[in-house]
Amino acid sequence: MELSGAEIIIKCLQAEKVEYVFGYPGGAVLFIYDELFKQNKVKHVLVRHEQGATHAADGYSRSSRKVGVALVTSGPGVTNAVTGIATAYMDSIPMVIISGQVPTHAIGLDAFQECDAVGITRPCVKHNFLVKDVRDLALTIKKAFYLATTGRPGPVLVDVPKDVTVAKCKFEYPETISMRSYNPVVKGHSGQIKKAAQLLIEAKRPMIYAGGGVILSDAAPQLTKLVRTLGFPCTNTLMGLGGFPATDKHFVGMLGMHGTYEANMAMQHCDVLVAIGARFDDRVIGDPAHFGQMPRKIIHIDIDPSSISKRVKVDVPIVGHVPDVLDDLIKLIETGKQRPEPKALAAWWDQIKLWKTKDCLRYDRKSKIIKPQFVLEKLYEITKGDAFITSDVGQHQMWAAQFYKFDKPRRWINSGGLGTMGFGLPAAMGAQLANPGATVACVTGEASFQMCIQELSTCKQYRLPIKVVNLNNRYMGMVRQWQQFFHGNRYSESYMDALPDFVKLAESYGHVGMRIDKPADVESALKEAFKRTDELVFMDFMTDQTENVYPMVGGGKGLTEMILAEEL
């Protein structure tokens, strides 16, 4: 029996066991929506803007390790989705985006709602396809899922012209697939792993630095085992939080621009560094020349060869699937007789503990104005550290990363690479749908939140009981902070006048709104909000406008050139 292209798309999604598609209908995808309507295996979540669809699919994926799927129409549908696609690309999130396209005969003629979707998205997808023949459709969708999930994951876009959704052919979904031009390395080189094991054993001042690759490859158990076996200090990047338990004694906090003093100092002064699923990003190591001043041996484990020796030259590159490489490495260390020298390691830990006494995350606990850090500490306590926390981008994101102790992977969901304001709420929708019954909180600020505020409506429609923690300082806080530090206190356009009454706004969408002005009310408000397990509660915390995120490494500065609270 022959099926139409639209039917084939739905059959493929069913075959991939896709639970949710996040999307928005339009002319070019009407036949696909018609087929969606006729079945009930693949559920559709109607967002209010296509950016929300891609962020929601992204949050769904990050919180569940499944592929996030978005469906958008041609032209503005796909251009609106681009921000979300680029966000997923920068953080290597497996997603499949199906976009409608004008009919094949109209392509290139500036048709209504036409845009070159493949051209526009090319630099921000792992790969993309334009399907011109219905007979290629099933294979292309199979390839899209395969590419999105293997190797270094990423978003893949499939652009389907309207006439292809109507045309018919025999449907057969390929069980497996192989592509001659795409064979990601999986197994790490055993010789290199041996070299790494030897370096680790000989290390006097070792440091383990783990990034988002640990989360994406589900290597948290292996990383935890490696760190505990060796007794080494471990730091996580913003993307890697939860990859190693934050409450473990070996954890020295997040590193980087707003990392802890001890993590950054240890990173700079170690003699052997193991980078795992991380990429020496500018926000992580600052100026590479400054970082390179200190002699150290670097082992770098990553699935993507192009991440290795990109910003920092490494001594022992190991390309492979992180959990497999770590398994091999642990085995070598466990079966070998040698152990790191305890004396040297103890001296190194003493040094780290000394750095720790700086108490770099301290803030004024007696403040009469709500301190954002205080809200996050209370959020951690009240959710018992077991919530899915999404965030937007800015100061609140950094405070959440610093003050919420993530013990499990996939609990911390934020846009690290692209830094997309507006990510938090739709990502929380995806996380809530992927984890029904779980506590999902979106930590945000009044500026970020307004970038995808329309999704409050989606939350109502699908009864998503997200808890929104809005740290409202009436500023684009991080912009204001940079202006204070580096632009002579000239707060150019970083103050937002005419903010809405968020309580009324939440209520008008059918949610619960709360405004909290005093530190004394923070805890009770959070308790009250999290008791309402079946409602979205928007908590508008009026926080200190002048609070800054410390420590801070200025843009382009060296990792240890930190601005600490006391220095201002």
Partner 1 sequence: MRHIISILLENEAGALSRVSGLFSARGYNIESLTVAPTEDASLSRMTIVTSGSGDVIEQITKQLNKLVEVVKVVDLFEAPHIERELMLIKVRASAKDRDDMKRMSDIFRGRIIDVSEDTYTIELTGTGQKLDAFIEALGRSAIIETARTGACGISRGQRVLRI
Q: Is 291 a catalytic residue?
A: no
Nearest to 60 by CA among 429, 536, 437: 429
Question: Cβ of residue 162: shortest distance to partner 1, in angstroms?
Answer: 19
Strand ranges for 270-387 from DSSP E: 272-276, 297-302, 316-319
d(CA 325, CA 189): 8
Q: Which is nearer to partner 1, 159 or 377 (CB)?
A: 159
Q: Is 112 a catalytic residue?
A: yes
d(CA 192, CA 209): 18
Q: Which is nearer to partner 1, 89 or 509 (CB)?
A: 89
Q: DSSP H helical segments within 336-444, as ranges?
A: 342-356, 372-382, 395-403, 424-434
Q: Which is nearer to partner 1, 126 or 296 (CB)?
A: 126
Question: Cβ of residue 272: shortest distance to partner 1, in angstroms?
Answer: 22
Q: Which is nearer to partner 1, 123 or 295 (CB)?
A: 123
Question: Cβ of residue 222: shortest distance to partner 1, in angstroms?
Answer: 25
Q: Which is nearer to partner 1, 118 or 330 (CB)?
A: 118
Q: Is 162 a catalytic residue?
A: yes
Say if strands 562-563 and 552-553 run parallel, antiparallel, or are unpaired.
antiparallel
Contacts of 162 (CB under 8 A, 6+ apart): 27, 28, 29, 30, 31, 74, 100, 101, 102, 103
Q: Which is nearer to partner 1, 134 or 234 (CB)?
A: 134
Which of the residues 113, 198, 454, 461 is marked catalytic? 113
Alpha carbon 210 to its chain centroid, in Å, reads 14
Structural contact between residues 296 and 268, judged by C-beta atoms closer than 8 angstroms: no
Q: Is 50 a catalytic residue?
A: yes
Torsion over CA: 378, 383, 384, 387 (sign): negative
Question: Cβ of residue 182: shortest distance to partner 1, in angstroms?
Answer: 5
Question: Cβ of residue 98: shortest distance to partner 1, in angstroms?
Answer: 18
d(CA 266, CA 406): 21
Contacts of 520 (CB under 8 A, 6+ apart): none
Structural contact between residues 302 and 319, judged by C-beta atoms closer than 8 angstroms: yes
Beta bridge partners of 236: 210, 254
Question: Cβ of residue 487: shortest distance to partner 1, in angstroms?
Answer: 27
Question: Cβ of residue 20: shortest distance to partner 1, in angstroms?
Answer: 26
Which of the residues 126, 162, 297, 371 is marked catalytic? 162
Collapse the DSSP code of 540 into the 3-class scheme (helix H, G, I; strand E, B; otherwise coil) and give the result: strand
Structural contact between residues 452 and 49, judged by C-beta atoms closer than 8 angstroms: yes
- The torsion angles phi and psi of 253, rounded to 5 degrees, stand at 95, 175
Which of the residues 257, 267, 421, 478 is marked catalytic? 478
Contacts of 463 (CB under 8 A, 6+ apart): 534
Q: In what order do the strands lie in the sheet with 272-276?
A: 251-254, 234-236, 206-210, 272-276, 297-302, 316-319
Structural contact between residues 72 and 51, judged by C-beta atoms closer than 8 angstroms: no
Q: Which is nearer to partner 1, 130 or 525 (CB)?
A: 130
Collapse the DSSP code of 390 into the 3-class scheme (helix H, G, I; strand E, B; otherwise coil) and give the result: strand
Q: Which is nearer to partner 1, 308 or 425 (CB)?
A: 308
Question: Cβ of residue 153: shortest distance to partner 1, in angstroms?
Answer: 13
Q: Which is nearer to partner 1, 65 or 310 (CB)?
A: 310
Which of the residues 14, 37, 112, 507 is marked catalytic? 112
Residues that bind partner 1 (CB under 8 A): 118-119, 122-123, 126-127, 130, 147, 179-182, 304-306, 308-310, 313
What secondary structure, in 3-state letters, does 475-524 show? ECHHHHHHHHHHCCCCCCCCECCCCCCHHHHHHHCCCEEEEECCHHHHHH
Q: Which is nearer to partner 1, 140 or 229 (CB)?
A: 140
Question: Cβ of residue 317: shortest distance to partner 1, in angstroms?
Answer: 11
Question: Cβ of residue 33: shortest distance to partner 1, in angstroms?
Answer: 27
* Residue 119 in tokens: 């051209």
Query: Angle at Cα 327 formed by Cα 323 and Cα 331, nearest 5°?
Result: 170
Q: Is 557 a catalytic residue?
A: no
What secondary structure, in 3-state letters, does 191-241 show? HHHHHHHHHHHHCCCEEEEECHHHHHCCCHHHHHHHHHHHCCCEEECHHHC
Query: Token match 């025999």: residue?
Result: 170
CB neighbour class for 504 (10 Å; exposed up to 12, middle 13-18, buried from 19): exposed
Catalytic residues: 50, 112-113, 162, 478
